[in-house]
């Protein structure tokens, strides 16, 4: 099972996206655990994860998060996929990044 951490500004809209990602992953028989947190929680929630996805509104933190966690892939979610809460597109990004 893959551990996926979503980071955004307040955690509200991203927490809604968690459900859509989970549903899309289940439809593909892809086992993941997805959690949403604020960017300020990164230090405590990122360790042990397989991938970190940043919401578009915190994309300016990309290099900082990569620097703090050099062994964990960090990507910015596509603004359109994020805005449309497109779980399938986000699952595709996760799978492509992790070569699953």
Active-site residues, by number, are 8
Question: From CA 15, how far away is CA 19, in angstroms rounded?
Answer: 7
Q: Are 75 and 100 in contact (CB under 8 A)?
A: no
What is the enclosing helix (H) or strand (E) of 88? helix 87-98
């Amino acid at each position: 099972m893959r551990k996926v951490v979503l980071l955004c500004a307040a955690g509200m809209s991203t927490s809604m996206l968690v459900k859509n990602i989970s549903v899309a992953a289940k439809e593909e028989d892809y086992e993941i655990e997805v959690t949403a947190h604020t960017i300020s929680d990164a230090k405590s929630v990122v360790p042990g994860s397989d991938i970190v996805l940043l919401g578009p509104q915190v994309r300016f933190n990309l290099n900082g998060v990569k620097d703090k966690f050099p062994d964990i892939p960090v990507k910015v979610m596509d603004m359109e996929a994020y805005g449309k809460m497109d779980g399938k597109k986000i699952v595709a990004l996760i799978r492509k990044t992790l070569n699953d």
